[in-house]
């Protein structure tokens, strides 16, 4: 994980980096900062707080500038416009230097008093700790779609988490090195990391009702989440072998089309009547055409991949032992 350029080379990396994306949450930022500071200082951790302003149009930036001036633990990253929560998390992750990175929402729905429990869960061996809003304090219109989303994602990826999209999560820094968040993929972080072999655990957390501002995600998130599910299922399973998925579908279509056309050819050969007006003829032709298309799409994907694939795309190393062990190794947390 790269250390941000402004940080002095002689500074020690903090044990914990907090990454907090926010979009129009001016009312809560100062209180959130105070509560985080109280919690982490009582626990005795070295820490940094990275606030990512995702194009807020309220007084959020001014509030954060005052926090930066008063507290050297705070860094503010201002986006030029609203790029979305995934982009904001991604920028925060790049800047984070801690051995443990914790994300939380800025609206005070997540409780900073839980921070030390997240650190403890990582110290006990988890790579990723996912908050679970056990007693969720959101309206029915948010909780019901969320249940459906969790069930579908669990089924698709073979997971058993009750709250994939909880903003409160902790990571061993290593887990973030190859996590590429963009679009609205923040909902799929557990699925993406599970697919790379990281150890996930779930931690029940307190959840408070939103007292200021309003939710930034509307009903459209179910549709977007559904579409992203296909993307993530494809990229986690077939990112390094797209030819397999396109090829398998294409071959099945070719086979089905071939069977249809062979049957009709047989009928024609034995003189069982004209076949030019049979719907089966069109079905067989379409299956053959699209089957060929699928296979060639897979081959093109493989050609593109062979030029662009990186080491990080192929595997994830947990640790190295022995003479060549200079790589990233999970270190115990220093306080
Ligand atoms: N957020 C963001 N960019 C956006 C939308 C949201 O940084 O485009 C932040 C938001 O300010 C909050 C967190 O993401 O800190 C979670 O958003 P919200 O509370 O609206 O989601 P909900 O709790 O309603 O699911
Ligand atoms: Mg919220």
**Ligand 1 pocket, CB under 6 A:** 21-23, 25, 54, 82, 84-85, 88, 105-107, 109, 167, 215-217
Measured in angstroms, how far is the CA atom of residue 255 from the centroid of ligand 2? 50
Atom 10 (ligand 1): residue with closest C-alpha? 22
Atom of ligand 1 lying closest to residue 52 CA: 7
* pLDDT value, residue 142: 87
* pLDDT value, residue 8: 44
Q: What is the pLDDT along the chain (335 residues), one digit of tens a residue?
A: 444 444 444 457 899 999 999 999 999 999 999 999 999 999 999 999 999 999 999 999 999 999 999 999 999 999 999 999 999 999 999 999 999 999 999 999 999 999 999 999 999 999 999 999 999 988 888 889 999 999 999 999 999 999 999 999 999 999 999 899 999 999 999 999 999 999 999 999 999 999 999 999 887 888 999 999 999 999 999 999 999 999 999 999 999 999 999 999 999 999 988 999 999 999 999 999 999 999 999 999 999 999 999 998 999 999 999 987 765 544 445 44
Task: For the beta carbon of residue 261, count every other beta carbon within 10 angstroms.
Answer: 18
Reduce the secondary structure of the chain to three states and give it as a string.
Answer: CCCCCCCCCCCCCCCEEEEEEECCCHHHHHHHHHHHHHHHHHHCCCEEEEEEECCCCCCHHHHHHHHHHHCCCEEEEECCCCCCHHHHHHHHHHHCCCCEEEECCCCCCECHHHHHHHHHHHHCCCCEEEEEECCCCCCHHHHHHHHHHHHHHHHHHCCCCCCCCCCCEEEEHHHHCCCCCCCCHHHHHHHHHHHCCCCEEEEEECECCCCCCCCCCCCCHHHHHHHHHHHHHHHHHHCCCHHHHHHHHHHHHHHHHHHHHHHHHHHHHCCCCCCCCCHHHHHHHHHHHHHHHHHHHHHHHHHHHHHHCCHHHHCCCCCCCCCCCCCCCCCCCCC
* Residue positions counted in the chain: 335
Measured in angstroms, how far is the CA atom of residue 109 from the centroid of ligand 2? 6
Measured in angstroms, how far is the CA atom of residue 15 from the centroid of ligand 2? 26
Measured in angstroms, how far is the CA atom of residue 213 from the centroid of ligand 2? 9
Mutate to test the pocket of ligand 1, among 78, 216, 224 (most ligand atoms within 8 A of CB): 216
Q: How far apart are CA 234 and CA 245, in angstroms?
A: 9
Q: How far apart are CA 255 and CA 65, in angstroms?
A: 64
* pLDDT value, residue 219: 77
Query: Structure tokens of 13?
Result: 């990396």
Measured in angstroms, how far is the CA atom of residue 23 from the centroid of ligand 1? 7
* pLDDT value, residue 11: 59
Task: For the beta carbon of residue 145, count every other beta carbon within 10 angstroms.
Answer: 14
- pTM, whole model, 2 decimals? 0.89
CA–CA–CA angle 26, 168, 87 (5° rounding): 65
* pLDDT value, residue 1: 43
Query: Structure tokens of 318?
Result: 């947990």
- pLDDT tens digit string along 298-321? 999 999 999 999 998 999 999 999
Q: How far apart are CA 7 and CA 258, in angstroms?
A: 64
The answer to whether 96 and 1 have CB atoms below 8 angstroms apart is yes
CA–CA–CA angle 270, 274, 278 (5° rounding): 115
Ligand that comes closest to the CA of residue 27: 1
């Amino acid at each position: 994980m790269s250390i941000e350029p402004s940080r002095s080379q002689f500074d020690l990396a903090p044990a914990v980096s907090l990454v907090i994306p926010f979009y129009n949450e001016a009312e809560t930022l100062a209180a959130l900062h105070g509560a985080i500071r109280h919690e982490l200082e009582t626990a005795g951790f070295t820490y940094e707080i990275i606030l990512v302003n995702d194009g807020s149009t309220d007084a959020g930036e001014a509030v954060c500038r005052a926090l930066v001036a008063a507290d050297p633990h705070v860094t503010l990253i201002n986006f030029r416009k609203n790029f979305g929560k995934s982009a904001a998390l991604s920028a925060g992750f790049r800047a984070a230097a801690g051995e443990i990175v914790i994300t939380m929402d800025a609206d005070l729905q997540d409780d900073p008093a839980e921070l030390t429990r997240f650190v403890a869960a990582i110290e006990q061996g988890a790579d990723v700790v996912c908050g679970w809003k056990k007693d969720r304090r959101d309206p029915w219109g948010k909780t019901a779609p969320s249940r459906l989303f969790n069930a579908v994602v669990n089924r698709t990826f073979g997971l058993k988490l009750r709250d994939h999209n909880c903003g409160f999560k902790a990571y061993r820094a290593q887990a973030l090195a190859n996590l590429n968040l963009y679009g609205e993929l923040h909902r799929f972080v557990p699925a993406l990391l599970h697919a790379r072999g990281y150890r996930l655990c779930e931690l029940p957390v307190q959840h408070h009702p939103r007292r200021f501002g309003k939710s930034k995600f509307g009903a459209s998130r179910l549709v977007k989440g559904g579409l992203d599910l296909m993307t993530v299922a494809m990229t986690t399973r077939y990112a390094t072998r797209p030819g397999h998925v396109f090829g398998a579908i294409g071959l099945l279509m070719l086979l089905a089309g071939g069977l249809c056309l062979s049957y009709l050819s047989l009928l024609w050969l034995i003189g069982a009547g004209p076949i030019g007006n049979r719907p089966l003829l069109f079905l067989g032709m379409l299956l053959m055409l699209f089957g060929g298309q699928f296979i060639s799409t897979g081959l093109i994907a493989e050609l593109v991949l062979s030029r662009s694939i990186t080491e990080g795309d192929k595997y994830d190393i947990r640790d190295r032992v022995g003479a060549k062990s200079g790589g990233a190794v999970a270190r115990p947390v220093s306080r």
